[in-house]
Amino acid sequence: MIEVCSISKFFSVVNDKGLAEGLTAVLNVSLLIPDGSIVSLIGPSGCGKSTFLEILAGLQAPTDGEIRIDGKRVLEPLPSTRKEMEDYKRRYRFISPLANGVFTDRPKHDIAMIFQDYAVFPWMTALGNVVFALELRSAGKRRSERPSRAELEEKARIYLGKVGLAGAEHKYPSQLSGGMRQRLALARALSVEPKIILMDEPFAAVDALQREKLQDDLLFLWKEAGDNAAPISIVIVSHDVPEAVYLSDEVIVFSPGPGGTVRNRILVDVPRPRARTDPEILEIQERIFAVLQYDINQESMYAI
């Protein structure tokens, strides 16, 4: 379970006059994401949903509030007073708070993350990419319990097969198409058997036909994990309303930035498997479109 308690994130940016200015990326977001559910974050660009996802993954510290994954805090918030600031600086003098450790590989939480691009390392083969993740995940175990290289490769092959990349094990990402690259990223994320997968616009760079196939495959693999008593929660950041509605149990609409906050939470209470043209699905899509449309128009009125 992911508990998000009033997360806010401020940045200081440089404005046109070259002066420092505060920018609110995320404002007071609270959420509860139960195990094994799929949640989409949707909103106009620049509303802070990607920032929110990175805070969720522990890649950025929130300015305020905290996130707990299964009761364990992800990253402490940034200091707010001068005294706290000094303590913080002293503690993280040498190594950043994001780091796992200097020499020991140790995952903090059972998370995998998929980025739109840059998801897989171009300098490793498909197999190498998956083995890399598997190796890291087994690093916490005692030396005697660690799987051998052959076992890791065997496991990696299984997951590559699952996403339909059997036979492409020794190809480099540059030799794969965009859709296949995202499949590889998916295989890498699934192979570590995470409890949570965070996806930052995972299928945005893939053509429409491939995208639908990928979505269906994602749902299939998610369901398979759920059936094997290892439910995976998936948090997807998306621009694509139909995709969000089709995939998720709950769509969270962010208000337009700066200062994105939760505007609407829309439950998609349609049993799976769903049809893309299901009237209920279409109706929910219409509602979300209407909400976003309203926000965008309001904003343009202010702009005038």
With binding defined as CB under 8 A, does residue 105 bind another protein?
A: yes
Q: Are 120 and 129 in contact (CB under 8 A)?
A: yes
Q: Are 250 and 266 in contact (CB under 8 A)?
A: yes
Give the residue with the Cβ less far from another protein, 47 or 111.
111
Name the CA radius of gyration of the chain, rounded.
Answer: 20
User: CB neighbours of 16 closer than 8 A, spacing ≥ 6?
Assistant: none
Give the residue with the Cβ less far from another protein, 157 or 211.
157
With binding defined as CB under 8 A, does residue 121 bind another protein?
A: yes
**Nearest distance from C-beta of residue 62 to another protein, angstroms:** 16
Distance in angstroms between the alpha carbons of the first and the last residue of the chain: 43
Give the residue with the Cβ less far from another protein, 72 or 265.
72
What does each C-alpha distance from 11 to 25, 47, 197, 237 come to in angstroms? 7, 13, 26, 21
User: CB neighbours of 181 closer than 8 A, spacing ≥ 6?
Assistant: 119, 120, 173
With binding defined as CB under 8 A, does residue 98 bind another protein?
A: yes
**Nearest distance from C-beta of residue 169 to another protein, angstroms:** 8
Stretch that binds another protein, among 14-22, 80-88, 91-99, 272-280 (CB under 8 A): 91-99
Draw the binding track, 28-47, toward another protein (x: CB under 8 A; -: no contact): --------------------
With binding defined as CB under 8 A, does residue 97 bind another protein?
A: no
Class of residue 176 by CB neighbours under 10 A (exposed 0-12, middle 13-18, buried 19+): middle
With binding defined as CB under 8 A, does residue 62 bind another protein?
A: no
Window 202 to 261, contacts with another protein (CB under 8 A): none
Window 158 to 177, contacts with another protein (CB under 8 A): 167, 170, 172-175
Alpha carbons 21 and 15: distance in angstroms, whole number:
6
With binding defined as CB under 8 A, does residue 95 bind another protein?
A: yes
Q: Are 33 and 233 in contact (CB under 8 A)?
A: yes
Alpha carbons 245 and 68: distance in angstroms, whole number:
26
**Nearest distance from C-beta of residue 72 to another protein, angstroms:** 14
Give the residue with the Cβ less far from another protein, 95 or 296.
95
With binding defined as CB under 8 A, does residue 99 bind another protein?
A: yes
Given its phi and psi angles, is residue 13 left (phi above 0), alpha (psi -120 to 50 degrees) or beta? beta
With binding defined as CB under 8 A, does residue 55 bind another protein?
A: no
With binding defined as CB under 8 A, does residue 133 bind another protein?
A: yes
Give the residue with the Cβ less far from another protein, 52 or 246.
52
Stretch that binds another protein, among 11-19, 89-97, 158-166, 246-254 (CB under 8 A): 89-97
What does each C-alpha distance from 76 to 8, 45, 109 come to in angstroms? 12, 27, 14
**Nearest distance from C-beta of residue 57 to another protein, angstroms:** 6
Q: Are 11 and 25 in contact (CB under 8 A)?
A: yes
Residue 220: count other Cβ atoms within 10 Å of its Cβ.
Answer: 13
| Binding stretches for another protein (CB under 8 A) | 54, 57-59, 93-95, 98-108, 111-115, 117-119, 121-124, 132-133, 136-137, 139-140, 167, 170, 172-175, 192, 198
